[in-house]
Amino acid sequence: MTRTNKAIITCAITGGTHLPCMSDHLPITPDQIADEALAAAEAGAAVVHLHARNAEDGRPAWEPEVYAQFLSKIKQGSDVIVNITSGGTMFSFEERLAAPLQFSPEICSFNMGPMNLGTWRWRKALEDKVKYDWERQWMDKAKSVTYINTFENMEYIAKQMGDQRGTRFEFECFDVGHIHALKTLWDENWIKPPFFIQFVMGFTGGIQADPEHLMHMKQTADRLFGTNYEWSALGAGKHQMRIVSMAAILGGHVRVGLEDSLWYGKGVKATSNSEQVGRIKRILEELSIEIATPDEAREILHTKGADKVNF
């Protein structure tokens, strides 16, 4: 597809995968998450993708009351689009949906199938660095956990969040088969275009962050959806800037943030989400690619508007 719209920068602020021991700059408290989101928006992000964490020890959290502590602050301080996750490898399906169902955001993430993130592989390298006991337990448990999304789950999300609440979706595809799963949802008339597809690349258990794989993902989506979709890409870890820059050149949108990578450059940890946003914004501008504002992103992604959320 040829670009007809400006590039949307999404910033994934904290996620539920990286551990506090991996970076002193990972946002944990509600104030930290809100401040990082607002700074990312100021730096050029049109969308912020949000997870919650326990303020005491950084453990991933799902409870709506934790989300409530930062959602209003973000809305009051910026016109950025809020995207609430529906993910979480260690949470039940009901727990994962609790915050999106209550707050009815403009966008929520929508994982397109099972996934093994492989965070148990960090155990040996991080053994002497952990700050909290739960971090070791989390990594140990990860080896026996598959992140599940059944078609029954996906039908429920589509109907409850899309049909009833008017929320649009960031369809996270960790592999080529997930793109075909998305086509199945369309064939069943559970979802309506235009679709916003996020190619998630570089995690253990999913497609790796190679240029050839990005091309294959895009070509597959082109064949299945034609002009009925917008797409973005993210690259995990060291692959972040290389993959998202390539995505932008190919006409896609981009996602950065400390959820996806803790790095600014080779051997240099990022000190903030806004630092990564600022870097990709400079790259896009050097490539003569215009950056979408939040309102322009709303038009591109057909969201319902910030006045129709429940926070």
Q: What is the pLDDT of residues 127-156, one digit of tens each?
A: 999 999 999 999 999 999 998 999 999 999
Domain layout of the chain by residue ranges = 9-308
Q: Exposed, middle or buried by CB within 10 Å (0-12, 13-18, 19+), for 286? A: exposed
Residue 277 phi/psi, 5-degree rounding, is -60, -45
pLDDT of res. 4? 56
pLDDT digit string, tens, across residues 247-259: 999 999 999 999 9
The pTM score is 0.97
Which residue has tokens 């529906």? 86
How many helices and strands, by DSSP H and E, does the chain display? Answer: 11, 12
How many angstroms separate the CA atoms of 31 and 116, rounded?
31
pLDDT digit string, tens, across residues 188-225: 999 999 999 999 999 999 999 999 999 999 999 999 99
1, pLDDT greater than 50: no
Percent of all residues in the chain with a pLDDT value above 90, rounded to a whole number = 96
2, pLDDT greater than 50: no
* Of 138, 14, 159, residue with least CA distance to 84: 14
pLDDT digit string, tens, across residues 38-55: 999 999 999 999 999 999
pLDDT digit string, tens, across residues 205-214: 999 999 999 9
Which residue has tokens 């000190």? 271
Cβ atoms of 80 and 48 closer than 8 Å: yes
Which residue has tokens 């009051």? 76
pLDDT of res. 5? 76
How many angstroms separate the CA atoms of 9 and 4, rounded?
16
Torsion on CA atoms 308, 188, 91, 208, rounded to nearest 10 = -100
Average the pLDDT over 78-91 and give the result.
96
Average the pLDDT over 65-77 and give the result.
98
Q: What topology does CATH give the domain 9-308?
A: TIM Barrel (3.20.20)
To the nearest 10 degrees (0 to 180), the angle between helices 93-103 and 64-77 is 40
